[in-house]
Each structure stands twice: as C-alpha cells, then as structure tokens.
Chain A
Amino acid sequence: MIAIIDYNSGNVASVSNALKKLGKEHVLTKDADEIRQAERVIFPGQGRARFAMDQLEKYSLIPVIQNLKVPFLGICLGLQLLSNFSEEDDISCLEILNGDVKKFPETVKIPQIGWNKVRSKGKSALFKDIPDYSYFYFVNSYYYLGQSVMATSNYGIEFAAAVSRDNFFATQFHPEKSGEVGLKLLNNFCEL
C-alpha cells in the first residue's frame, strides 16, 4: 500500500487522482503507524514551509518521516522540507538532505510557473524511460541547493529539479500535473 501523507497540503487530491489513473492503491493518512507500515510513502507539498512544518509537528510525523526505510517521494515543498533549512520563513526542516532552500534571484519572475525542461544527471530508476529535457510542470519561488541532486533545470540559474538519497526521492516539479511524462515518473516510483 502507498501512503500519501495528508497534512492539509494543497495538492493531496491531485496526487491521489494521479495514482487512481495509474490504478495504484493508496491511502491518504496522517496516522504515524499507517505511514510506518506503508510499502511506499508520498509526501506532497504546496504552500508555505512554516505551515507545513507546523502540521508535521502537530501530527508527530517528523521522526516518522526521518526514519522511513521504504521508497519515499517528496513533491515540490515536499522536496524543500527534506533540506536542512529553508530561507522561506527561515525555518529548520527535516535534515534528510544536506543542503538549504533559497529564493530565486530577482532577475526572473517569481514564482516560476509553468513547464520547464528537466535534465537528469546519470541514470536513475525514477527517470527510467523518460527522455532528457522532458518538460515537467513547476510552481515554485524557492529552490534546493545542496547535495544529492539527480536532475536539474534552469530558471535564471541552474537549480535542483530532483534529488535522491538512499530511499528518499523528491521532485521540485509536480509529476501529478505534468501530463503523461509525470504519470510515467509516478509509475516508476511505484515500481522502485
């Protein structure tokens, strides 16, 4: 069973809809035990960093996520929260990735909204059968800068489009909103 962590983030319904399309059984939950026992965990994210961290704290999910050993997929804010620290709200995050979250430079329109090309570095099972420079849908004002980057995009600067460390995977883009190629990536995650 795939657990989608339901901590009142905006895009939970979209992720659930995408999994339905792929015919993958899943459950929306904030229950620590249910998340610990899941075979896979998806951590969607949308909105503000502080609000999201507060919700995780409230439901005692921080250590649960940090100790997961099964394939884990963070999406958008779900990637940023894996970092050490986010410039948005100046807040400490989950410290799963060694890096910080910064705001895009003023030279580009903020937020970045739209389809951007993603280039994966080397071979990753998450990007299996997805051509380099495929377009994915992004909505973000902040980006991750640090270790474990496995795919990049360019928006004024080169930034992390996807990261992976051990069982933790995360995308800055929204696979659930990226049409066929996004569904492909979600399916790859389900088959890890």
Chain B
Amino acid sequence: MIIYPAIDILGGKCVRLFKGRYDKVKKYFDDPLKVALKFVQDGAEFLHIIDLDGAKEGRPVNCEKIIQIARTFNMPIQVGGGIRDYQVAKTYLEGGINRLIFGTSAVKNPPLISEILANFPPDSVAISIDVDKGQVATDGWLQKSDLSPKSLIRKFRKIGVYQFIVTDINKDGTMNGPNFDLYEGLADCEIDLLAAGGISSLDDLKKLESLGLSGGIVGKAIYEGDINLKSAISCMKSGLAKRIIPCLDICDGRVVKGMNFRNLQDAGDPVDLSKLYCEMGADELIFLDITATNEKRKTLVKLVSRIAENISIPFTVGGGISSIEDIDALLKAGADKVSICSAAFRDPSLVEKAARKFGSQCIVISVDCAWNKDFWEIYVKGGSEATGADALSFAKKMASLGAGELLVNSLDRDGTCEGYDIELLKTISSVVNIPIIASSGAGCRLDFLKALTDGNADGALAANLFHYNKITIPEIKNYLKSNNIAIRI
C-alpha cells in the first residue's frame, strides 16, 4: 500500500482543516515546497496536494505553486481542488502532475472526465468521494448531495475511472482513526481505493492494507508526529519480513553449546531442537558442523536428510565445505543453502562455479572478520588465521561472483553479548546489494533491533542466547514488531 503524505494549501501556506471546515484551520508551515522536500527526503513515493483555496472558489488558485513542486521534485503527484474545466486539467497534467483529483466537478460534469481520459493515461484521474454520514458531499464539503458513494463509483467505473479516494469528512483531521466500515463496504467494487480521513497510526495503515486498500492519504498524523513517515514507508513498502535465525553448532551429529568453543556441552538432538525452534517461530535455521572432517561428512549428510524430513522451514548448512561435491551432497540431502567460509577465500572460483550450478540463492558466504585498527580483516579456519585481506573488498568480490547472501560474523564480538558490530554491518550492506545476516554478539532484544535497522541487516543470528534460554524467539519478535519492524509472527 502506498502512503500519500498530504499537503493542503490555503492562502499559499501549508495547513490542515478540522473535519473539512474552513473556520477550523491550523497552519503548519509557510512554504509548501519545503514540506514537499521533507516528504521526498523521507522516501515518499507519491505526494497528495490539495488547493484548498481552489476548492473553495471553484478555480485553481495555487496552481503555479503546485506545478513548481512537480518541477522541483521528479516524483508522482496527485492534485485536487478547483479543477473544473479541461483547460485547467491540461495545464496541470502537462505541467508534470500525474493524477488529478475530482470531487464536485466530477459529480456535476462527467463529460469533463471522459475528455481527460480520452487525452491522458487512465490513471490521470482519481474521483474523490467525500462522505458525510453515508452521503456524498461536494463543494469543498460545504454542500451535500443525495448520492451514495457506491452509486457514484459505479457511474465513474463505466467511463473508465478506476482510482477512487474516499474520505469520511467526520473523521478528517480528528485523529480518531479512519472509518474502516466505510472501506470494508466498498471492498467488492473492484477499484483502486485510497483511504483518507482520520488515519492516525501505523496500525491504521496496516489495517487499511488488510482491507485491500491501495493507498492511504495521511496529513495531520505526520504533521503532529503520530506517524513517522520514513519508518511507516519502509514498513509498508515491502512485505518482506526480517528473519530471526537460531544457529546450531553440530559436533558428531549432536548439538553442542558453549562459549568460544571451550567447555562444549551436549545440548541435544539436532532434529528435536530444530522442531522446538520452529514451533517458537524461527524463520530459518543454520547448522554449523564444527568438527567438519572428511570422515564425519557422511554423518552430516545423513543428519541433513533427517532434518529435511522433519522441518518445513529453510535451513543452511556450513562448516568445512570446500568443493562442488560437498555442496551437491548437502543440497541433495535437503539443505536449502550452504555456507562457505575458508574455501571461498582460498578459491573464489568455487563460489562462481557453485552459483552457476546451483543458483545464487543457495550460496551463502560467511564473512568472518575482525577490526585490526585500519580495516576489517578476513579470518579463515574458524577464525584462527588472519589473512591480511579487507572484508569489504572480499564481500564485494563474493557478491559479484554470485553469492546469494552474506553471513557477517564479527570475531571481535563473538561470545561477548555486547551487541552486533553495527558499523561493520552498515558498511558491508552499503557496498553490496544482496541480503546480509548479522552474526556474533547478540545479548539483548535491542541488539536485534539495531542490527536490523541501523545495520540494515536482513536477518539476525544467535546461538547461545537461544540455547541457554536467555531470551526467547517470541520475546524478540514481539519486541521487533512493537518497534514497527516487519516480522513474521
């Protein structure tokens, strides 16, 4: 669903009306252009601009100002207010406005709409239906008609309009939440429906999305700070959820836990634990074979088959993978992805070959690194051997060779519970355009939030935190959700 931040212009200034009343007006900013700039910086995808003077007078009043905004920012804009004849419509559409909003003139003058649609693309027109107690209101909400919203929608569908903005004027500017029943009642109209009026929280937007609306126009809630436009846009834009990933270290076919590979304790059967984590809401699992010797490889393949038979979420297997044959055996046994570390450093062509043969989506590269006071340096052999190589160049190289995902592992933070290395995550995610998974250092819920927001990671991994039950997956997920992170619950 697209969020349309609203700019209402009255007397040349940016204002909001209360319930559409011209006698209850609050001025927010002097310069609409500056407001537009702020919205653009926050990532707005479409601006909604209303010439309130125009709506009142029945002719465009702030036309030049609005076209100036369109010329300044090369982005989609819809404009309403006082557009009553074809010449005005043409001026706007040729001046860089993408869509015109018609209320009153549409009710009184359907041939105007047909004329515009005959000369401009079908999405150049949106019919705005202002609803006052079930009836359509016109003339800047000053007069009522005897039409119902549905009959008006039907009428304009017939002449080729498919974008409709429906506003409950008793909700507009009230911050009481939109009239959900009104929109639910229009769900069977097969139109692109934009809601306006009373949207006052991210939850309102989410609920509108769930009712099938294609857009929500937000005004006062942004100006009053109840909706943070930037985070609302990033939340509504993509439905892709951030992933919480438990990591299970495998030794001789059992899960082991312990700090820094010392005093390892048996933590149980991998299949039993996997099922448990799945039930708790893990989005994915990673198994790292810490023994990783050739003779034990066969045990691992058998274990992977057993895991694949028992869980129905994706899982990655890593540890000592060094050849196409290794990868083939693990994927055939049912692993969704393999994680490669030392071998990718030693022989980058392995990554290229593997991506070509199996697809990028199943090739994860583990970027194990530590800060050496000049740069993040790559380590191999389970973090025991420094290479002198720069992690950022390595990450870029891996992405260009076809890696599908990077597991970013900070050796400085490993086992510390001091939080993920946010600088490292941020830097790596700025140089590659593939998903990255944060690893090492998680100690509390806030660490996950930081990795997924500031660090721009797509998923966050933890091991002992989960194994020792210091924090549960549902606790983390609920916390992230309450912080407006897209999360699967």
Contacts and interface: CB of A to CB of B under 8 A. Distances in A.
Interface in B295-319: 308-309, 312-314
Interface string B203-217: 000000110100000
B308 A17 contact: yes
Interface residues of B, number: 37
B271 to A, nearest CB: 13
B267 to A, nearest CB: 23
Contact of A115 (B210, B212, B241, B333): B241
Contacts, number: 105
A108 interface: yes
B458 A14 contact: no
Contact of B333 (A13, A176, A177, A178): A13
Interface string A149-189: 00001111000000000000000001011111011000000
Contacts of B278: 179
Interface stretch (B46-54, B256-264, B356-364): B356-364
B444 interface: no
Interface string A104-128: 0010111111111111000000000
Quick one: which of B238, B242, B332, B360 has the most chain A CB within 10 A?
Answer: B238
A110 B239 contact: no
Contact of A141 (B312, B331, B360): B360
Interface residues of A, number: 44
Quick one: which of B313, B332, B458, B488 has the most chain A CB within 10 A?
Answer: B488
A109 B435 contact: yes
Nearest to A110: B433
Nearest to A9: B359
A129 interface: no
A64 to B, nearest CB: 24
Quick one: which of B239, B284, B405 has the most chain A CB within 10 A?
Answer: B239
Contacts of A113: 361, 404-405, 435, 458
Contacts of B242: 114
A137 B361 CA distance: 13
A138 B243 CA distance: 12
A166 B249 CA distance: 47
Quick one: which of A46, A109, A156 has the most chain B CB within 10 A?
Answer: A109
B312 A183 contact: yes
Contact of A112 (B240, B333, B334, B356): B240
Given A18-B312, A156-B238, A178-B313, 20 more contacts: A10-B331, A13-B334, A17-B308, A20-B309, A46-B359, A108-B238, A109-B458, A113-B435, A114-B243, A115-B240, A115-B241, A115-B283, A133-B239, A138-B240, A154-B239, A155-B238, A176-B312, A178-B312, A179-B313, A183-B312
Interface of B: 209-210, 212, 237-243, 278, 283-284, 308-309, 312-314, 331-334, 336, 356, 358-362, 404-405, 433-435, 458-459, 488
21 contacts: A10-B358, A10-B359, A10-B362, A13-B308, A47-B359, A111-B434, A113-B458, A114-B241, A114-B284, A114-B459, A115-B240, A119-B212, A139-B361, A154-B237, A156-B237, A174-B314, A177-B313, A179-B278, A180-B312, A182-B312, A183-B312
